[in-house]
Amino acid sequence: MTNYQQRAPEAMIYQICLRGQLDQTWAEWFAGLEIVALTNGDTLLVGLIADQAALYGLIKKIRDLGMPLISLMPLNSTTSSFNPHEQV
Amino acid sequence: MPISILATKLHLPQPRPNGVARPHLIARLEAAQHCGLQLISAPAGFGKSSLLSEWQASTQQQVAWLALDEGDNDPSRFFSYLVHAIQTIVPSIGGAALSLIQAQPQAIEQALISLINEISGRSESISLVLDDYHVIENHALDQALSFLLEHLPAGLRLLIATREDPNLPLARLRARGQLHELRSADLRFSLAEAQQFLNNAMQLDLSGAEVAALEARTEGWIAGLQLAGLSMQHQPDRQSFIASFTGSHHFVMDYLLEEVLQHQPPAIQQFLLHSSILNRMCGSLCDALLPSNEQTGQSTLEYLEQANMFIVALDHERGWYRYHHLFGELLRQRLQRSLAQQTTTSLEALHIRASTWFEHNELEIEAFEHAAAANAIERAERLIEGKRVPLQFQGALLPIMHWLQALPTSVFNQYPSLWVTAASVWLATGQVNGIEQRLQAAEQALTRHEQSPKFQDLIGRIAAIRGTLALSQNDAGQIIAQSERALAHLALDNLSFRTSTVWKLGYAYQLQGQRGAAKHAYEQAISIGQRSGNLVTVLLASIGLGNLHESDNRLKLATTTYQQVLNACSNLGLPAANCGAELGLARIYYQANQLDLAEQYYQRALQSAQLLQHTDREVACQVVKARLLIAQGQFEQASLLLEQAQIAAQQHRHTTQHAKIAAEQIRIHLLRGQIQAAQQLAQSHNLAIGQAQVLLAQQQPSAALAVLKPALEQAQANGWHDQQLWLSLIQCLGLAALGEQGQALQILTKILITAESEGFVRIFLDHGSAMQTLLASINPQSAQAAYRDALLAQFASEHPKQLYPAAPSLLDLLSQREREVLHLIAQGYSNQAICQQLHLALDTVKGHNRRIFEKLQVQRRTEAVARARELGLLSQ
């Protein structure tokens, strides 16, 4: 068993951009996602999100804070060609 | 089981006394009155609820309010609240819809139809606000609401406030001009409104430039402006505050909340943070949550309200409050952070305190929800049981389901009752799969626990749930076995499980034809149900009793029973009970040959039946309708209807209906002279009555009587009075066909006594002309002559029917003279005596004999007589 296989098959890294800055104290509220302050005053939330349900749950949390959502993007990392286990 | 209703969810929120009036938006809401749906869709903090509360206080329209929460994703709970909200304006409507949804939680569309019809018939005009609709995730509810919007009665319109556009046919409504929308661009504070708010409402006295800076920084976001205003109330240096706030990129609420909190005394800070775990709060609850607070909960709440601290009153008495959702969300995030930095209090401890307070105040569902949030398993498990009725039957289906879904198997095994609760919850949502596995897991877990009264009760519940599973399969043996086991183990005071179990037992006995036992069980269910207030079971058991009265040929008693049920149902609208009673009355009026009344009750029963999915009621209605059609001579239509009924019964495995459908099909075949088809059906369904009828039609009365004899003995031994009546009546026909007129009339006379006192008519008419002939031969001087005449009059007034051809071809074959000779042979006359009697020559008589033997295909005089009897020639 390798590490990547232990992840849920649907798990994906997402990058979510919000209008306004949040400090690190919000990391726990957002299920451990990394919080990155951008120089233009926006915030990036980055991290592994287990599945679509978790993604929607997160969007709902953002909605309930009234924070404007600017973008949401999946990042291809689990299929990186540098990972020897991924060779088919 | 009635859902517990919290009045605070239906409270019309009052506008803040010093809020900013928004006349242009109110005017838009008023101007769009003709729209069936007004959508107020904007993110948190845009003043949606505030606007609607300002509107409701000023409008001439009658406004009902429903504040939704996550638990309302349970359709029956959502619908119950919806009806209760409407009842705040028109208390008398929705009762039927409400009991329908309680009895059939999945039948939301049918309940809506009932509600729509009721509103259509009223003059009131109701504006229903659904606040916080974004919490609704259950697509079934979106569909139900779409259905409501498609069929919106003139007296109802909806206003939906939500953070996200609902899954409703908005484009279609927009195109038809039936939708009016207010969105974030409409709701943002304009510069003038910001100015009015900050300087008038908050009394800050800011310059135009300062207001403009704040308005720009918050982009007119009302919650942001309000928090900014609050922050500044305690700022000695407003200028520098505005400068640093507008210069910061920080998320507005996060930045400002910090400011606001820091300017509150520590006790208020703690109050705000700790009470943020509550969905609603009152003074005494806050005192319980913050023991150091020294009973200042109520005054603190009033202070917060006065200070404009995002707090909303939920009633007129200043009893219950909640935080503005956005503010509460931010406070909870802060609470989590602050609790992580100390060790004196934990989130779990706070939830336990809340749970304890709710429990003492008999708010069981909220007590459970906080116990679940604290993950206090033992406490939550105990609270689910409820004081009188388990919480899953009171509207807490979803919170319980969510909590159970998150628990590991080891916890279930430690608390076997949770397995049983899970089975019961999933059964309540109609998901039959996986229930048996949960019950087995419960039993497995119970083996590792010592015996106690509670575990005995659990064993009883497991059996009761299995009984319900067997009920959906109509598996009488299994229902009885499980129900008896349940009754042996259930706690004596567990009346909710006991009542329904005893009813199930009655139903199973009835399926098996054990009518005495069924009657006993039904009577018991009625008695326990009346004591425990379980009206639904009382009515279902009464229907069962009515069926049994019908089976006992006690049509009058059955009529009274059904009518009582209908009276009790009139403001309940329980379709299962309605259908049972209406169908029973349709059958009884059919039997009395009052076909118009029968048709009316059939129509009503069919309407009720269509509300009951997954039952055989619709098929049962079709059988009654087929009888009506046959009586009216519409064989083709009856036949088509029975075919449909048969397909439905096969598809849905309504096995108890197969024989009833076949019995009517056999009658149609016989009426059409299709004896072969009738025979096949009677054989494949093992129907004694059908086979006897076929044999009569084939002119084999001895064989018919042979079939009837054991069936009659069986019916007699089991006390199946209805069967006995039917079988004896056919027996009469058989005996008459055999020439045993005396015996036939003796039995018929007895039948007439019962028939007259209970009003049986069609049982005679449905046998057609053979029965007419037999009745006609009853002595006009006998005690039953009056009823005989009444029946004959009914025969005369309907189209003649013939099920059993009385050998007309053979009868025609024999000449008048040959028949005279045959009669004399049968009376034992010798050829010589016949000669003398008929004044004929011996050769002539012998010639007649030869022709008779030929035509009857026999060799001897004795054979001729036997065959003639068989063919009914001697009784003519």
In chain A, helix, strand, coil percent, each to 5? 25, 30, 45
Which of A21, A66, A68 has its CB closest to that of B223?
A: A66
Q: Is B137 touching A (CB cutoff 8 A)?
A: no
User: Which residue of A lies nearest to B326 if distances are taken between CA atoms?
Assistant: A65
The answer to whether residue B313 is domain-embedded is no
Q: What per-residue confidence (pLDDT) applies to B749? A: 92
pLDDT per residue as tens digits for the range B22-53? 999 999 999 998 999 999 999 888 999 999 99
What is the percent of chain B where pLDDT is above 90? 55
What are the structure tokens assigned to B287, written together? 């005192």
* Residue B730 belongs to a domain: yes
Give residue B614's pLDDT. 65
Please name the residue of chain B whose CA is at the shortest distance from the CA of residue A24. B337
Is B553 a member of any domain?
Answer: no
Element of type H or E holding B89: none
In angstroms, rounded to a whole number, what is the distance separating the alpha carbons of residues B100 and B83?
12
Q: Decide if B87 is inside a domain.
A: yes
- My answer on whether B161 and B255 are in the same domain is no
* Residue among A20, A29, A64 whose CB faces B250 most closely: A20
| Domain boundary pick from B796, B817, B842 | B796
CA distance linking residue B96 with residue B74, whole number of Å: 19
pLDDT tens string B111-149: 888 899 889 888 889 999 999 999 999 988 999 999 999
Report phi then psi at A71, rounded to 5.
-155, 165
Angle made by CA atoms B125, B130, B135, in degrees to the nearest 5: 165
- Check CB contact under 8 Å for B250 and A21: yes
CATH number where B15 lies: 3.40.50.300
Number of domains chain B is built from: 4
Lowest-confidence range among B114-123, B423-432, B547-556, B619-628?
Answer: B423-432
List the one residue out of B662, B657, B655 whose CA is nearest residue B693.
Answer: B662
Q: Per residue in B803-835, pLDDT tens?
A: 887 655 555 667 788 888 888 998 889 999 999
Indicate if B112 and B207 belong to the same structural domain: no
Residue B298 makes CB contacts below 8 A (sequence gap 6+) with: B282, B283, B284, B286
| Residue range B730-736: mean pLDDT, rounded | 94
Using a CB-CB cut-off of 8 Å, the residues of chain B touching A23 are 250, 254
Could you tell me if B786 and B754 are in contact, meaning their C-beta atoms sit under 8 angstroms apart?
no
Q: CA distances (Å), B688 to each of B87, B693, B715, in order? A: 55, 9, 11
B130 and B54 both lie in a single domain:
yes
Distance CA B457, CA B501 (A): 13
Can you tell me the distance from the alpha carbon of B319 to that of B43, in angstroms, rounded to the nearest whole number? Answer: 28
- Specify whether B180 is located in the same domain as B206: no
Q: Locate B346 and state its tokens.
A: 């934990």
Which of these three, B213, B245, B263, is where a domain ends? Answer: B263
Minimal CA separation from B255 to chain A, in Å:
9
DSSP strand pairing (B179-183 vs B37-41): parallel
Yes or no, beta carbons of B326 and A26 under 8 Å apart: no
Residue contact B251–A28, C-beta within 8 A: no
Strand, helix or coil for residue A49:
strand
H/E run at residue B688: helix B688-697
CA separation for the pair B510, B492 (Å, rounded)? 25
CATH of the domain at B751: 1.25.40.10
Structure tokens at B465: 């749930």
Average pLDDT over residues B206-220: 91
Give per-residue pLDDT as tens, B770-797: 999 899 888 888 888 899 999 999 998 8
Please tell me whether residues B161 and B200 are part of one structural domain: no
CB pairs under 8 A between A and B: 55
B165 touches chain A (CB under 8 A): no
Same domain, B36 and B144: yes
Closest chain A residue to B331, measured at CA: A65
Residues B44 and B183 in one domain: yes
Flag whether pLDDT at B572 surpasses 80: no
Which of B49, B219, B222, B249 best tests the A interface by mutation, with the highest count of A CBs <10 A?
Answer: B249
**Checking phi first, is residue B69 left (phi over 0); if not, alpha (psi -120 to 50) or beta?**
beta
Decide if B207 contacts B194 (C-beta within 8 A).
no
- Tokens in use for B737? 């066909």
Please give the single-letter amino acid code of residue B789: D
Inter-chain contact A68–B337, Cβ cutoff 8 Å?
no
pLDDT-wise least confident of B44-58, B478-492, B526-540: B526-540
Nearest residue, CB atoms, B251 vs list A21, A40, A63: A21
Q: Which of residues 839-858 of B touch A (CB under 8 A)?
A: none
- In angstroms, rounded to a whole number, what is the distance separating the alpha carbons of residues B772 and B795? 7
Put simply, the answer to whether A20 touches B333 (Cβ < 8 Å) is: no
**What pLDDT sits at residue B701?**
87
Looking at the DSSP bridge assignments, the partners of residue B626 are none
Question: So what's the architecture of A3-79 in CATH?
Answer: 2-Layer Sandwich (3.30)
Average pLDDT over residues B4-24: 88
Q: Is residue B289 part of a domain?
A: no
Do B183 and B196 fall into the same domain?
A: no
Cβ–Cβ gap A18/B251 under 8 Å: yes
For B38, B213, B301, the CA distances from B54, given in Å and listed in that order, are 15, 27, 22
Q: Is the ipTM of this complex over 0.85?
A: no
Taking contacts as CB-CB distances below 8 angstroms, the residues of chain A near B251 are 18, 20-22, 43, 65, 67
Residue B111 belongs to a domain: yes
Residues in chain A where the model's pLDDT stays below 70: 1-10, 76-88
Rounded to 5 degrees, what are φ and ψ at B281? -145, 155
Among chain A residues, the shortest Cα distance to B337 is held by A25
Q: How far apart are CA B366 and CA B349, in angstroms?
A: 16
pLDDT of residue B548: 95
CA distance B365 to B372: 10
Angstrom distance (rounded) from CA B29 to CA B408: 50
B465 CA to centre of own chain: 18
Within-domain flag for B523: no
Smallest CA-to-CA distance from B98 within B605, B574, B430 is with: B574
Helix (H, G, I), strand (E, B) or coil at A15: strand
Q: Do residues B44 and B181 both lie within one domain?
A: yes
A22 to chain B nearest CA, in Å? 6
Is residue B498 in some structural domain?
no
**For residue B876, is pLDDT > 80?**
no
Mean pLDDT for B203-217 is: 91
β-bridge partners, B179: B37
Query: Is the four-CA dihedral B793, B798, B800, B802 of positive or negative sign?
Result: negative
3-class secondary structure, A41: coil
Helix axes B816-826, B831-838, angle to 10 degrees: 130
Calpha distance B309→B301 (Å, rounded):
10
Q: Is B43 in CB contact (< 8 Å) with chain A?
A: yes
Side-chain half-sphere CA neighbours of B580 within 13 A: 24
Q: Could you give the CA distance from residue B96 to residue B610 in angstroms, rounded to a whole number?
A: 15
pLDDT category at B871 given cuts 50, 70, 90 is low
What is chain B's mean pLDDT, rounded? 89
Q: Which residue has the tokens 């009883």?
A: B460
Do residues B468 and B504 touch, judged by C-beta distance below 8 A?
yes
Distance from CA of A80 to the nearest CA of B (A): 34
Q: Residue B73: what pLDDT?
A: 93
User: Are B86 and B222 found together in one domain?
Assistant: no
CB-based contact B467:B503 (threshold 8 Å): no
Distance between A88 CA and the closest CA of chain B, angstroms:
36
Coil, helix or strand at residue A87: coil
User: What residues in A contact B164, CB-CB < 8 Å?
Assistant: 63
Per-residue pLDDT, A39: 80
Structure tokens at B24: 């242009």
What amino acid occupies position B472?
S
Q: Cβ of A25 and B329 within 8 Å?
A: no
Amino acid, single-letter form, for residue B548: L
Report residue B196 CA to chain centroid gap.
54
Q: Is A50 helix (H, G, I), strand (E, B) or coil?
A: coil
At which of B773, B796, B819 does a domain end? Answer: B796
Q: Looking at CA atoms only, how far is residue B324 from chain A in angstroms?
A: 11
Are B4 and B399 within 8 A, CB to CB? no
> Using one digit for the tens of pLDDT, what is the confidence trace for B451-470?
888 889 999 999 999 999 99
**Sequential DSSP letters for B190-225:** PHHHHHIIIIIIS-----HHHHHHHHHHHTT-HHHH
Is there a single domain that holds both residue B106 and residue B64?
Answer: yes
pLDDT at A76: 64
Q: Is the pLDDT of residue B864 over 90?
A: no
What is the residue-wise DSSP string for B148-194? HHHT--TTEEEEEEESS--SS-HHHHHHTT-EEEEEHHHHSPPHHHH
Say if the Cβ atoms of A63 and B326 lie within 8 Å.
no
Q: Which of A41-55, B483-497, B859-873 has the lowest mean pLDDT?
A: B859-873
Q: Do B146 and B83 fall within a single domain?
A: yes
Nearest Cα to Cα of residue B727 among B694, B689, B772? B689
Q: Where are the domains of chain A?
A: 3-79
Task: Chain B: give the shortest CA distance to residue A43, in Å.
Answer: 9
Quick one: pLDDT band at residue B661, thresholds 50, 70, 90? very high
pLDDT in tens, B363-395: 999 999 999 999 999 999 999 988 877 888 788
Q: Domain span at residue B848? A: 808-870
Query: Does residue B609 have a pLDDT over 80?
Result: yes
> Chain B: nearest CA to A24, how far in angstroms?
11
